[in-house]
Amino acid sequence: MNLTESMYVRDAGKRSILRSASWEVRHRIMKRWRAFLLGLFFALAPFIAQGAEMGKFQYEDFKKPKQCKTCHKAIYQEWEQSLMSQSFTHHWDDVEYFKLALPHALKLDKVAEVKGGCIACHSPLAFLTGDIPPRPPEAGTRANESISCEICHSITGSTEKEPFNFSYTIKPGKVKFGPRKDGRSSFHGIEYSEFIKSPELCATCHNEQSPYGAWVKETYREWKSGPYAKEGAKCQDCHMYRAPGKVSRSGKLRSDVAHHAFHGAHFPNKIAGAVDIALYADVNQVSPGSDVNVRAELFNGKVGHYIPSGSSEERMLWLEMTAIDTKGKTYYLTLNKKGFKGEEYTVADGKAIAYQAMGEIMGVKEFGGVKRDGNIPDGVRVFRRPFFDPKGRMTICQWYTAENTIVDYRIGPRETKIENYSWHIPQDISAGPVKITAMLYYSLVPSSVGEFLQLMPSEYAPVEVNTAALNIEVVK
């Protein structure tokens, strides 16, 4: 009996009715059922296309990372210190899911899928075993394994040509998938995989579309449309640097062991120097009441995608331009605006309020939002791509994003942004050398959001990306 017949031929009584019916009646019934099932398939197609299947496995189908440590001690040590091992337990991810995404999914049908969707990438074991929603990190369940060895080395491919929204296919078991054709192990089988070496593996979670159809993570797409992809440089080349060593305790010495550090935006040493800055002034000497024009050139020569990227709705990258005279008095130079559409979102404004959805989700009465740009100085340039919710308000809730194409003023791979500043020299400035400094800062979330959600200060503390300086002389 095929699937269609089994759905309506349930018992002997019904079978006898069908047998007694005319061929035409049976044909009409079958045709209606086929139409129903076809409609159901297309209605569910967007979800079926997402390869990872919630609840298909048991936790016991996956080995614990500490078992991998027995043979892969160095790799385990690197993974343990990486964000891959903390993608579920990391404080901001914990807060974002349990205080915002999960409550919102339970309130609003449109975003209900994020209850499991977030976990499919932040704790795949919990998703694949149907542990949805998982218990919070303090419960100490296996959801805390985050993105473990068994996940990446059990992934076989994707249901999508350009993967997105956890579209990975996975096959846990005795065979592990790896990047080498000559791998050997006495503990498990090894099968060579082109996919595990490819950027498409990363894309399964670093390409994401919101329930409203907006692309809210495009790190893979940014890379693919940029110069690095054309030259053959892959995600793993930057985020899994290679060096001589052994993959396992008993393995042979290799020249190119991939390190499982996955350094990215959460590591200040990866951010430091990511963007080069050059600074120029149109004059070397000024007098009180005169003007000087300063040009800052920012070049993204080291990042294979946009900066900021990933969860760019909450990332902050901004340039502060200051002048300090001989008495230590600090002046802020005035940014010359360019006049492009949406520029108001790229210039810090202490009066701008945003992120109202946070309070609504959390049930905070009369919540009007928080400062859009946190505590950064007014008037400085912010390199960002603002996200907007269905009510037209800026949001950090990527799953609640309906629009994010109004302006994108981030710095693309090998792109140079040029910012111009004017400074009218004050009459009371001290004579002597004046140091003009450009400071580029980065933070994971706006400080106002971090303070409201009571995140650890390290989550929103400014990180220095780069700096440049020049001197001019004030003469009287």
The Cα–Cα gap between 361 and 381 comes to 30
- Which of 448, 470, 437 lies closest to 323 in space, CA to CA? 437
Partner residues linked to 466 by β-bridges: 440
10 with 39, same domain: the answer is yes
Residue at token pair 């990215």:
264
Q: What is the pLDDT of residues 43-66, one digit of tens each?
A: 433 433 357 899 999 999 999 999
Confidence (pLDDT) at 32? 52
Cα Rg of the chain, angstroms = 27
The Cα–Cα gap between 154 and 175 comes to 8
pTM, whole model, 2 decimals?
0.88
Concatenated DSSP letters for 388-404? Answer: B-TTS-B-S-GGG-SB-
Confidence (pLDDT) at 321? 98
Whole domain around residue 74: which residue ranges?
59-258
**Dihedral, CA of residue 112, residue 116, residue 122 and residue 125, to nearest 10:** 180
Average pLDDT, the chain: 91
414 with 337, same domain: the answer is yes
Angstrom distances, CA of residue 228 to CA of 208, 217, 270, 456: 21, 18, 18, 35
108 with 40, same domain: the answer is no
Confidence (pLDDT) at 52? 87
327 with 436, same domain: the answer is yes
Cβ neighbour number for residue 17 with a 10 Å cutoff: 12
- Domains: count for the chain: 3
The two structure tokens encoding residue 186: 């006495």
Confidence (pLDDT) at 28? 52
All residue ranges of the chain with pLDDT < 70 are: 1-50
Pick the last residue of a domain from 258, 289, 322. 258
The Cα–Cα gap between 408 and 405 comes to 7
Pick the last residue of a domain from 225, 258, 291. 258
Question: How do strand 175-178 and strand 189-192 relate by DSSP bridges?
Answer: parallel
Preceding peptide of 308 cis, ω within 30°: yes
Question: How do strand 330-332 and strand 316-324 relate by DSSP bridges?
Answer: antiparallel
The Cα–Cα gap between 277 and 419 comes to 11
The two structure tokens encoding residue 111: 């975003």
The Cα–Cα gap between 393 and 133 comes to 28
Tell me whether residue 217 is in a domain: yes
Confidence (pLDDT) at 409? 98
The Cα–Cα gap between 286 and 471 comes to 11
CATH code of 404's domain: 2.60.40.3880
Tell me whether residue 177 is in a domain: yes
Pick the last residue of a domain from 209, 233, 258. 258
Q: Phi then psi for 465, rounded to 5 degrees?
A: -90, -50
Concatenated DSSP letters for 24-64? Answer: HHHHHHHHHHHHHHHHHHHHHHHHHTS---TTSS-GGGS--
107 with 133, same domain: the answer is yes
Tell me whether residue 8 is in a domain: yes
Contacts of 214 (CB under 8 A, 6+ apart): 387, 401, 402, 403, 404, 405
196 with 103, same domain: the answer is yes
Tell me whether residue 301 is in a domain: yes
Preceding peptide of 133 cis, ω within 30°: yes
Single-letter code of the amino acid located at 332 = Y
Q: Determine the 3-state secondary structure of 211 from DSSP.
A: coil
Tell me whether residue 214 is in a domain: yes
Helix axis angle, 199-206 relative to 114-122, nearest 10°?
150
Confidence (pLDDT) at 47? 39
> Do 270 and 264 touch, CB atoms closer than 8 A?
yes
Tell me whether residue 157 is in a domain: yes
The Cα–Cα gap between 116 and 134 comes to 9
Tell me whether residue 139 is in a domain: yes
In 121-258 the beta strands, taken as DSSP E runs, fall at 155-158, 168-170, 175-178, 189-192, 207-209, 215-218, 242-245, 254-258
Contacts of 447 (CB under 8 A, 6+ apart): 374, 375, 376, 460
Single-letter code of the amino acid located at 324 = I
295 with 390, same domain: the answer is yes
385 with 440, same domain: the answer is yes
23 with 93, same domain: the answer is no
The Cα–Cα gap between 212 and 217 comes to 13
140 with 195, same domain: the answer is yes
Partner residues linked to 349 by β-bridges: none
**Helical (H) or strand (E) element with 203:** helix 199-206
Confidence (pLDDT) at 297? 98
289 with 221, same domain: the answer is no
Contacts of 205 (CB under 8 A, 6+ apart): 120, 121, 166, 168, 217
> Do 383 and 407 touch, CB atoms closer than 8 A?
no
Q: What is the pLDDT of residues 272-320, one digit of tens each?
A: 999 999 999 999 999 999 999 999 999 999 999 999 999 999 999 999 9
39 with 74, same domain: the answer is no
Tell me whether residue 78 is in a domain: yes
